Amino acid sequence: AKLVFADSAKDNPNMDIHSLRGLITSKTKVIVPVHYAGIACDMDALMDLANEFGIYVVEDAAQAVDSWYTSKDGSKKPLGSIGHMAAFSFHETKNIMSGEGGMLVINDPKFAARAEIIREKGTNRSAFFRGEIDKYGWVDMGSSFLPSDILAAFLFAQLENLNDIQNKRKEIWNFYHAGMTELASAGKVTLPFIPDWASNNAHMYYIVCKSPTHRQGVIEALKKQGIMAVFHYLSLHKSEYYKDKHDGRELVNSDHYSDCLVRLPMYYELTTAQQELILKTIYTYFLSV
Ligand SMILES: *Cc1c(COP(=O)(O)O)cnc(C)c1O
């Protein structure tokens, strides 16, 4: 498949839905919206466009567990339930995790049977175990995508405690957000923007600096205090692997987030005292520039 990248929106790292129409050709098969930081893309607009052109939508809901989209008609849908399929991640950096692992959600039943086979190494073993056939064999391509029982048990315990985990993360998120308001009002940084249609699952707290220099300064100041803060994705259209395949369009918003965004530590055990130190360190840095 050939990948065509859409730019981020100006006010949020999610894809700029308005830029999509101009990128669609007769060869376009799938649109893959990323719900960045667990914040919903505008799924009404996206699904309308996809339906107009008969294109499938696969949601990258890797960061979007327990996050919601409110439709124009007022209905609330969990992210990952809107496109034809969606992928969630249980990587160690996500809200609930099993170290490595993930979940494919299939919303269009016509894809379910084949997905089951691909997951089972290309065999119809699942149908065999349900007693639907009397022997199983290779019927398609596939690989070994099944998680181990131990990983599943580890993950399940977190699912049982999802509300507790989410409440704690939201507390941490809100504490950062309140703490950052003054710095944002002073024009030093931009804070996450959450559109009306989106919920906040507190997957991530990030700030966007004015320049890569400021971002590097923040990261170094935190590092001196023994605090690890990281910037996030580098734009894929500029990656070693893809830069020569990209069609050359400038994706300025995407580059801006790639250059200036920094994530602050966000995990269940983070304490208020630690968050206070993080905020103080960032404020002290900005007093010096
Ligand atoms: C984590 C993440 C992935 C990858 O998930 P894996 O479980 O490592 O495959 C993909 N997309 C986004 C947006 C992510 O945050």
User: Atom 8 in ligand 1: which residue has the minimum CA distance?
Assistant: 91
pLDDT in tens, 218-258: 999 999 999 999 887 788 999 999 999 999 999 999 999 99
Answer whether 200 contacts ligand 1 (Cβ < 6 A): no
What is the C-alpha separation between 102 and 91, in angstroms, rounded? 7
Host H or E run for residue 282: helix 272-287
pTM beyond cutoff 0.85: yes
Cα of 206 vs centre of ligand 1, distance in Å, is 17
Q: How far is Cα 90 from Cα 191, in angstroms, rounded to an integer? A: 26
Percent with pLDDT over 90 in the chain: 96
Residue whose Cα lies nearest atom 12 of ligand 1: it is 62
Contact 182, 189 (CB under 8 A): no
What is the CA(94)–ligand 1 centre distance, in A?
A: 9
Ligand 1 neighbour 63 (Cβ under 6 A): yes
Kindly report the backbone phi and psi dihedral angles of residue 85, in degrees, each rounded to the nearest multiple of 5, phi listed first. -145, 165
- Amino acid 155: pLDDT: 97
- Determine the Cα–Cα distance for residues 266 and 135; give it in Å rounded to an integer: 48
How crowded is residue 25: how many other Cβ atoms within 10 Å of its Cβ? 8
Residue 16's contacts (CB-CB under 8 Å, 6 or more residues apart) are 6, 7, 8, 9, 10, 253
CA 35 to ligand 1: nearest atom: 13
Ligand 1 neighbour 57 (Cβ under 6 A): no
pLDDT at 231: 81
Give the position, in ligand 1's atom list, of the atom nearest the Cα of 91. Answer: 7
What is the model's pLDDT at position 245?
Answer: 96
* pLDDT at residue 233, rounded to an integer: 77
Residue 265 banded pLDDT, cuts 50, 70, 90: very high
pLDDT at position 234: 85
- Three-state SS sequence of 20-61: CHHHCCCCCCEECCECHHHCCCCHHHHHHHHHHHCCEEEEEC
**Position 96 pLDDT exceeds 90:** yes
63 Cα nearest atom in ligand 1: 15
Band (pLDDT 50/70/90 cuts) for residue 146 is confident
